[in-house]
Amino acid sequence: MSSIVEKQNEVVDEFSMFEDWMQRYEYMIELGKSLPLIDERYKTDDNIIKGCQSRVWVHADMNDNDKIEFTADSDAIITKGIIAILIRVFSDQTPKEILEANTDFIDEIGLKEHLSPTRANGLVSMIKQLKMYALAYSKA
Amino acid sequence: MIKTAEGFNVEKIRNDFPILNRKVNGRNLVYFDNAATSQTPQQVIDCIVDYYQNYNANIHRGVHALSQEATEAYENARRIVQRHFNAKDFKEIILTSGTTHSINLVASGYEKFMTAGDEVLVSGLEHHSNIVPWQMLCEKTGAQLKVLAMTEEGVLDMQSFEDLLNFKTKLVMVNHVSNALGTINPIEDIIEKAHAVGAKVLVDGAQATPHIKPDVQALDVDYYTCSAHKICGPTGVGMLYGKQELLEELPPYQGGGEMIDQVSFEKTTYAGLPNKFEAGTPNICGGIAFGKALDYMNSIGFESIAAYEQDLLDYATQRLNEFDNIIIYGPNTDAKTAVISFNFQGLHPYDVGTLVDKMGIAVRTGHHCAQPIMEFFKIPGTIRASFSFYNTKAEIDLFIEALQKANSMLL
């Protein structure tokens, strides 16, 4: 199983092949469309991430190997693409690994604009929420 | 005579706006977020620079030359605003930090006059800034907040207005133009009927004033508000107009310098209008530049602006209707200002806004601080394109191309 850093490097490598913003976004839209959907019963108000212009739901489960698996959904497709990338990197990792991970790769794949806390798509809120789940499980 | 858009020299006007030359994401900027903030002409920018370079000083107190010059320029700006809105007296023009401040000032003052059993009537087309201050007033006083519904077409239901209006109604709040949909509301009718039951009317003019030149005396409106940053002026300054007798009765909003007559620890007496409502050092430069911005708009002329913008609105609406999956909210083009609030069937407004931004186009996406309207249509938000007199049909064509591209990427 790859570590968070390895998976981040994979994502950075993939994005480095794109020549312009349009290819990057087309890829994110594809990722968004193929995102494994969250179970409908977890699309509750409790699981909504606040601070997003689009609605985003994230759910976390601990699997048999003591690793966290995330599922998510959004009503906006680009937002879904962003979550798909986050889930690919952070899912199936231990709480400790998730808590210690840095997120510089977001900048490297040209999505820096989505990192601005004033931008209402809530990438910052999403990362925070993933870490909050990890924190909760680390104490469980 | 009704002026037409012909002969409107948009290229000459565009030269006044240096920001229109900049590039965004490698493309020429197309700025269609004018309903949020208008751009600033060089004449206003020069006025701001001139203030800080030549006569920056505090007003109303210094005997020195700079203070006197600044005071004169600031009070002259108040008179420009007075003339623009045709207020009877300069004392009726309170310079505030903007529409939100203006509304809160009035709402706070009415705590003194409201009791349980009184009613305030707020239109269903309001911006949050003309909803929340009245909810706060009702919470504090026990007054009831009533909502004037809107119809599927995004216009106010005037039959329900007459039903809701009664002798307990103390205040009626309505925007002159809706920020989310561009709807022009029948404020003359609303004011007349509200007055018939003794209610006062506050009109939020933030979205109307970029397109329409209101005459507060002809309207017989009790309070009228606007923000300079939507009328080619700077941010952080705006106006509250109020009839003199009403402003005299209204208690001060904030205490401090400028708003006093005599201060002692036993008793403080307040200054007269307009100073009573202008505690502390005001946005002096902003006020002066606000006056300059109105002069600039009037030099072009509101009739010419309205005719030209109507032409842009008609053209943009016609081009948007080329999309099979377009949904446009609000009334027809003849009943609104140059604003189009829309969605594409099956697409989230956030996705579309993100992609067109990458193509250099600035539009607003989201709920436009009018969540009750979005709730009414059961949508998360809209894409709002709002046009100004410095926009062109060529820019609308670029916008349509960008939307075609966004559609092909997302669908």
Q: What is the ipTM of this complex?
A: 0.84
Write out chain B residues lying below 8 Å of A26, CB-based. Answer: 409
Taking the mean position of all CA atoms in its chain, how far away is CA B223?
A: 14
Angstrom distance (rounded) from CA A31 to CA A25: 10
Q: Which residues does B330 contact at the CB level (< 8 Å), separation at least 6? A: B153, B154, B178, B180, B181, B182, B183, B336, B339, B341
- For residue B370, CA distances in Å to A50, A80, B172, B175, B332 come to 18, 25, 18, 12, 20
pLDDT at position B3 over 70:
no
Which domains does chain B possess? 10-31+301-410 (3.90.1150.10), 45-298 (3.40.640.10)
Among A11, A28, A35, A52, which one carries the catalytic annotation?
Answer: A52
Residues B125-129: what's their mean pLDDT?
93
Which tokens in the block code for residue B17?
């706006």
Subunit contact A29:B410, Cβ cutoff 8 A:
yes
Angstrom distance (rounded) from CA B249 to CA A139: 61
pLDDT digit of tens for each residue in chain A (140 aa)?
689 999 999 999 999 999 888 898 999 999 998 886 788 888 888 888 876 677 889 999 999 999 999 999 988 898 889 889 999 999 999 999 999 998 888 888 877 666 555 554 577 788 888 999 999 999 87
Residues B127-136: what's their mean pLDDT?
95
Out of A22, A26, A78, the one facing B354 most closely (by C-beta) is: A78
Unique residue bearing structure tokens 């002798």? B167
Name the strands in the sheet holding B339-344, side by side, starting at the edge strand that comes first in the sequence. B326-329, B339-344, B382-386, B364-366
Write out chain B residues lying below 8 Å of A79, CB-based. Answer: 348, 350-351
Taking alpha carbons only, the member of B182, B202, B206 closest to residue B190 is B202
Q: Which amino acid is at B235?
A: T
pLDDT of residue B71: 96
Subunit contact A76:B351, Cβ cutoff 8 A:
yes
Taking alpha carbons only, the member of B309, B212, B211, B232 closest to residue B10 is B309
Which domains does chain A possess? 4-139 (3.90.1010.10)
Min distance B229 CA to chain A CA atoms (Å): 20
Write out chain A residues lying below 8 Å of B355, CB-based. Answer: 25, 78
Subunit contact B25:A21, Cβ cutoff 8 A:
yes
Taking alpha carbons only, the member of B87, B109, B156 closest to residue B277 is B109
Residues B142-165: what's their mean pLDDT?
95
CB distance B184 to B215 below 8 Å: no
Out of B365, B409, B410, the one facing A53 most closely (by C-beta) is: B365
Min distance B376 CA to chain A CA atoms (Å): 18
Question: Is B369 noted as a catalytic residue in this protein?
Answer: yes
Subunit contact B348:A75, Cβ cutoff 8 A:
yes
Min distance A51 CA to chain B CA atoms (Å): 12
DSSP E strand stretches across B249-315: 260-263, 268-270
pLDDT at position B22 over 90:
yes
CB distance B206 to B182 below 8 Å: no
Residues B211-231: what's their mean pLDDT?
98
* B296-325 pLDDT per residue, tens: 999 999 999 999 999 999 999 999 999 999
Q: Which residues of A touch B (CB under 8 A)?
A: 21-22, 25-26, 29, 53-55, 75-79, 120-121
A-to-B residue pairs, Cβ atoms closer than 8 angstroms: 39
Residues B214-218: what's their mean pLDDT?
98
